[in-house]
Structure 1
Amino acid sequence: MNYEIIPPPARLSPFIRFFWILESNEPYLHRGLADGCAELIFHYNGIFDELCDENQREKSFSSGLHGPTRKFRRFIIDSGFGIFGVYIYPFAIPKLFSLPTIAVSNEMPDLKNLLGAAGDRLEEQIMLASSNYERANILSTFLEHQLKKNLEVPANISVAVHHMLSHRGIVDIPALAEHCCLSLRQFERKFKEYSGFSPKLYSRIIRFQTAAAQYGASGKSLTEIAYQCGYYDQSHFINDFKEFSGFNPSTYFSGEAEGTAWRDSEMS
């Protein structure tokens, strides 16, 4: 399995965290975890099915948006595959797709529903591209065009989301609201509109993501990981991990959990 990251052009970096590629010649069962950011995804080789209740399979999209989510989801493919993705800050969604972030939180709309005929044209360009670097260039051009034609994002809210991410979800929410020159109620409403979640829930998701990113960290106990990620109560750490990943932390960090092969590839 190959996992690769391509940094975005500087002009896109306030809105795009990175481009990513995941490829394999083997079948794969993937588990997507709760995430405070969104992903624009293109399956240029093969299409995954989503595993729903009782492991029933439903066809997923060939290209579309995976909004910020508090839920874990499971996907499977019976052959080799290739995926190109764009990891997007949540507040960029209104500028890219002309709709509030909260409208796509926990949702996976396909590209045609998001962009109409323009989505069909973009999908075709991505599928026919000769390399992943060409895909990155095509998407960079498209995303720049989208950013120019839509409304500005309130600067204080984008700053608040960046602050939440950079501080690993460990924030004083009333102090952050005051820093944004908003009442707590105004801040909570605006933050939810542009991040998809309330500040409290978003901070929990980011703390969980920070903990999950410790996968493969040698020499660290679960207690150390929990403490470093702002969990001062082991039961809260376990409960959040189960809610946002479906795993007990001990199972996830054992290296035997389903859907972690991409992380093994990332570390190799």
Structure 2
Amino acid sequence: MYKEYSPCSLLAPFIDRYWEYKGETRSGMKFNIPPHGCSDFVFNVGNATDCTSSDLIMRPYHSYFFGPMNTFTELVTQKNFIHIIGVRFQPCGLSRFIKIPLSQFMNQGLDSHEFPALFSQSFIYQLSENQNPIGCIEHELVRQLYKNSMGTEKQISHVVSLIRRQKGIVSIKELATEVCLCLRQFERKFKFYTGYSPKEYSRIVQFWNAIHLLKPNTSFNNLLFVAIQAGYYDASHLYREVKRFSGHTPKAFLTLPMKEKVEVLHFECIEINRKDKVYERIN
């Protein structure tokens, strides 16, 4: 079962959300996780939670850092039960705790031992035994917030907010002018703090806006209308972008139940060999 939790008001400028997935799976089950324009720390807190992501094997009682992604991440379970908890930072949120160029970690998943320390191994063991792991994580982040004296990157945070408000349909030159930076300096600074170029980040925001528009009552007959609303050239352009970022075609989103939350975190793909068809379920 998948759940999301909001951060406290003190951490909201830096943390987008906490999320948790706990439940039975089956060996070989595959999850496609689309990019959100953020970075995540992920904790394996069960004793049978082996997952594989690209060349990374996520072992029990370990934490992992997933940097900015510009395509979907494929996660394959190796056990029949998983319990993973994630902390999703705002695009510039991690800089309040660690000053690193996020562009160095594009499309990478790393064991936390290979990444500047934020959560110690002893904390992860403590987390596994805690009855309120989300509260435990939040308490640790608040402690580090007061411990660290690093400032907040206000210029880029402001631009990120503008891109979100305009649903990714923006002029990069106008954004640079907004924060009084030359284009080259703006792009370099944006990439340092978010990991993305302004154009890449805008494309991800635009993709999520398109997903929100692809409601179950939409049909293939009016995909062009959705594409134009979301700022794409045509339906083919929409198709390519959705496929690139999610690993699925727009059809997968059209079959969501009417009351289903559109802001999905992951896709669960279960292949069933029956008359050469592949059945997909989206959570």
TM-score category by the smaller chain? 0.7 to 0.9
The residue type equivalent to 1:197 in the other structure is: Y
Aligned residue for 1:40, secondary structure, equals: strand
Greater helix share, structure number: 1
1:86 aligns with 2:95: no
CA distance in 1, matches of 2:181, 2:53: 42
Aligned residue for 1:240, secondary structure, equals: helix
Aligned residue for 1:90, secondary structure, equals: coil
- Offset at 1:41? 1.0
Which residue does the alignment assign to 2:230?
229
Long gaps (5+) in structure 2: 257-265, 271-280
**Residue number among 140, 157, 172 corresponding to 1:142 in the alignment:** 140
Q: Are the aligned partners of 1:34 and 1:209 in contact in 2 as well (CA < 8 Å)? A: no
Q: Are the aligned partners of 1:208 and 1:241 in contact in 2 as well (CA < 8 Å)? A: yes
1:36 aligns with 2:37: yes
CA distance in 2, matches of 1:43, 1:110: 11
Q: Are the aligned partners of 1:91 and 1:101 in contact in 2 as well (CA < 8 Å)? A: no
Which residue does the alignment assign to 2:278?
none
Q: Are the aligned partners of 1:170 and 1:230 in contact in 2 as well (CA < 8 Å)? A: yes
- Offset at 1:29? 1.9
Aligned residue for 1:39, secondary structure, equals: strand
The residue type equivalent to 2:94 in the other structure is: I
Which residue does the alignment assign to 2:172?
173
Larger radius of gyration: 2
Aligned residue pairs: how many? 255
Which residue does the alignment assign to 1:73?
73
TM-score (norm 1): 0.83
CA RMSD of aligned residues (A): 2.7
The residue type equivalent to 2:5 in the other structure is: I
CA distance in 1, matches of 2:269, 2:254: 10
CA distance in 1, matches of 2:44, 2:224: 38
Percent identity, aligned pairs only?
28
- Offset at 1:241? 2.0
Q: Are the aligned partners of 1:94 and 1:101 in contact in 2 as well (CA < 8 Å)? A: no
TM-score (norm 2): 0.79
The residue type equivalent to 2:57 in the other structure is: K
1:97 aligns with 2:98: yes
CA distance in 2, matches of 1:150, 1:230: 41
Structure 1 residues 138 and 89: CA distance shift in structure 2, 3 A: same
Q: Are the aligned partners of 2:44 and 2:85 in contact in 1 as well (CA < 8 Å)? A: yes
CA distance in 2, matches of 1:140, 1:91: 18
CA distance in 2, matches of 1:145, 1:103: 27
